Amino acid sequence: MASDGKTTAIRDQQQPHFLVLPCPVQGHINPMLQFCKRLKQEGARVTLVATRFCFNNTFQNLPSSIAIDTFSDGFDKGGVEEAESFKAYFDTFEEVGSETLGELIEKLASSGNKADGIVYDSFMPWVVGVAKRFRLSCASFLTQSLAISSVYYHLQKKKLDIMKMEKEIQLPGLPLLEPDKDLPSLVFAHQAHPVLFDVLLAQFSNLDEVDWILCNTFDELEKEVADWLKTIWPKLRTVGPTVPSMFLDKRLKEDEDYGLNLCKNEDSCLKWLDDKPKGSVVYVSFGSMSNIKETQMGELAYGLRDCDSFFLWVVRDYEESKLPKDFEKKSEKGLVVSWCPQLKVLSNEAVGCFLTHSGWNSTLEALCMGVPMVAVPQWTDQSLNAKNVKDVWKMGMRAQACEDGIVKRETLKSCIKEVMESEIGKEMKRNAIPWKASASKATDEGGSSQKHIQEFVESHHHKFVGMDKTESSSVTNCVKDLSCPKPDLLA
C-alpha cells in the first residue's frame, strides 16, 4: 500500500541527514560527491554544501538525486582568484565560512530539515568548531591516501624532523622511503608555498575532536598503514575508492560519471580510441590543475611523437601555447585534446598505459580500471603515490627526472616501451588485475568500504529508532536549545 505524505515525511525525518562540505576544487569535489551517492545508497539524506561561487560556476550538471545548498567563503564573485593571496583566501574562508555555515544550519533546522552530522573536507579543519557549536556529529574526510596522511601526521606532530632526516626513513606501515625522492615536495620546499604547507599539516591539528575520520582509499590497498593509523585514530574508516559505481560494483545503475566537470565535455576522443588495436594507446594526462613547465612540455611532446605507440594526450587550453611549434595536435599517431572523460578512456581496451602525474584521484582511477602506469610526479603527494605504484602495488614505472627536475624524452620513451612491450610490462598488467578486483569488491555489498559507510550511517540512524513524535520533535529543535544534551551519536 502506498504511503501517504505524512508517513513519508516521518520516514524522511528518521533518516540521518548529513551536510557534506568539499573544498572548492574539482579534485576534492569529485570524491566527496561520489561519497554523497554512497551515503544515499545506505539510507541517509545528504546535502552537498558548496561555496556560492563554486555553485554558480560548477554545479550546473549536478545529479538531480543530490540536494545542494550554499554558503559563502567571502569571495562569492571570483572564488580564490578574487583573493589578494592564498593566505587571504583561507583566512577569510574560515572567518566568513564559519558564520555563513552556521546560518545555513539554522535555516535547515527551522525549515524542518535539521542536519545530524557534517562531513567536511580535511583541508577545512575549522568546520569542527561549527559542528560542535550546533552539537552535530563531525567527520573529517581525507581526500588523499593514507600513506600521505601518515607522513603529514608525523610532520604535524613533530614526530619527523626535516632537519634530521637520514638517507632513508622508515615510517610505520610504509615502505622504506628516500626523503628527497619519495616524500611530498613541500616537505623540502615549504618556504616556497608556506600557506599550502600549513593547510596540509593543519588537517591533523584537531582530529582528536572529531567523531569519525573517513578516507578515500580501501583497506586492502593500504592495509599496513591503515592498521597502524587505526591504533592512533580508532575512528578511522576507509570509504573508497570513490569512483562511479558502474566502473566498479555496478550497484548504482545510473552512476556512470561524476556528474560534475569544470571543463567542457569533449567525447570525440572515444571514437578515435575505438579505431585503435587493443592495448596500443598511451593515455597522457596531468590532472585538472596541471601546470607543466614549457621545457617539460617539449620533452613530453617529442617523447610521445618518437615512441612506438599511439597516444592520446590531454593538454589544458591554458597550456596549449607551451607545445612546440612543430608538434602536430592531430596526426596518424596521436591526438591532443583539451578534455576527455577519463574513466571512459581508461576503461577502453585500446589503452595499454597511463602516463600520469600520479595525483591520488588519477592513481585510484587507473588502479580501478586495471591500467598500468608511467608515473611522472610533479609535486605535493605525487611522489609518494608514484613510489607505491612502482614498489608496493607493482603496476607501473616511475620516470626519473634529471637534476633540473625535467624528465627527458629518452626516459619517457624507455618507460613507455617497458610497460607496453616488455615482459616486466606484462607482469605489471597481471598485477593490475587483482587490484582492479579488490577495488570493486571493497565497494560491493559486504565489502570493506561498503560496510564502513553502512556503519557510519547506522550509528546516526539508531537514535531515531523507537522515537515517538514528541521525541523526534525534540531532536529537530535541539539546535535551538543549548540546554539540550548532545545525543550519543556513535554506536
Structural contact between residues 24 and 54, judged by C-beta atoms closer than 8 angstroms: yes
- The predicted pLDDT at position 181 comes to 92
- The predicted pLDDT at position 3 comes to 43
Residues of the chain with CATH 3.40.50.2000: 9-251+445-480, 268-441
State the pTM of this model. 0.91
Q: Nearest to residue 34, comparing CAs of 340, 239, 250, 266?
A: 239
Strand partners, 312: 283, 335
Q: Give the CA angle between residues 379, 385, 387 to the nearest 5°.
A: 105
154 is an active site residue: no
Residue 8 CA: distances (Å) to CA of 2, 11, 470: 10, 5, 17
Q: Nearest to residue 297, comparing CAs of 418, 378, 380, 416?
A: 378
- The predicted pLDDT at position 41 comes to 96
Q: Which of 28, 190, 357, 452 is catalytic?
A: 28
Q: Which of 17, 73, 116, 121 is catalytic?
A: 121
91 is an active site residue: no
Structural contact between residues 123 and 203, judged by C-beta atoms closer than 8 angstroms: yes
Spell out, as residue ranges, where the chain has pLDDT lower than 70. Answer: 1-13, 60-64, 260-266, 462-491
Class of 268-441 in CATH: alpha beta
397 is written with which cell numbers? 614505472
What's the DSSP call for residue 190?
T
The residue written with cell numbers 573536507 in the block is 121
- Thinking of the domain 9-251+445-480, which architecture would CATH place it in? 3-Layer(aba) Sandwich (3.40)
